[in-house]
Amino acid sequence: MQTVTVERTDDRYVVTLDRPAARNAIDAAMIAELHTVCGIVEAAPAPVLLTGAGEHFAGGADIGELRERGRDEALSGINRTLFDRFAALPLPTVAAISGYALGGGAELAYACDIRIATETAVFGNPEPGLGILAAAGATYRLPSLIGQSVAKQVLLAGRTLDAEAARRYGLVMDVVPAGEHLAAAHRVIDRIVASAPLALRLTKAVVDGTARIEDIAQAVLFETADKRDRMTAFLEKRNRR
């Protein structure tokens, strides 16, 4: 991969947006590579630490690419589809944020379960100033994270939130000095991995409202001796024919 790096340790993934010369702007190549990352994590679930190389988390989407996109690209939800997939990863995700988290970069941060920020962090969604809207999750994630009133200030009035405001409104868990965000995020994941993975997975699904009662009920039934006995009897009867 050219725009993202992935490190797998025993109990977590560390994913780094790696276009520091472009403030880690999210382009089509990064979207494709983050889909690859999601596939890796879905196949072997573990908590994810997401961060950006250099001084910034992600300064937005690639404006040059956005300018050339038309109706069909908008209707396909290119960025939204990825961010929704990232939000749905089975185990908790923690964003370690320094500098700019703007536009699409902010929306990717909103898609994480927990955010840690440095004192330099700035969140904002300036999309209306570019003739578009924040269509990759901000309109439905940000109100639930910080409340509808403050979300409207960000989405409609162009307000940016510095690190202290983000902490005050609950957008970030903690604010740490510059350069300490990765260590702080790792400490959060240390606490996460001390818990039972299945309990974490179910808790996240319930809190996010993605838990389906039939899946949970089926999971319980799949572990019963009655299910195994009945299916074994069925297979033995069929094999005797």
Give the separation between CA 53 and CA 4, rounded to whole angstroms. 9
Give the separation between CA 107 and CA 84, rounded to whole angstroms. 10
61 near 79, Cβ under 8 Å? yes
Is residue 3 classed exposed, middle or buried when 0-12, 13-18 and 19+ CB atoms within 10 A define those classes? buried
Could you tell me how far CA 53 lies from the centroid of its own chain?
Answer: 17
Among residues 98, 87, 29, 27, which one has the least CA distance to residue 60? 27
User: Which residue do the tokens 């994913």 mark?
Assistant: 15
Structure tokens at 55: 């001084």
Give the separation between CA 66 and CA 62, rounded to whole angstroms. 6
Answer yes or no: 107 catalytic. yes
**Catalytic residue among 42, 127, 180, 236, which?**
127
Among residues 5, 16, 91, which one has the least CA distance to residue 50? 16
**Catalytic residue among 33, 73, 107, 236, which?**
107
Mapping DSSP to helix (H, G, I), strand (E, B) and coil, where does residue 112 land?
coil
Structure tokens at 131: 């003739």
The residues annotated as belonging to the active site are 107, 127
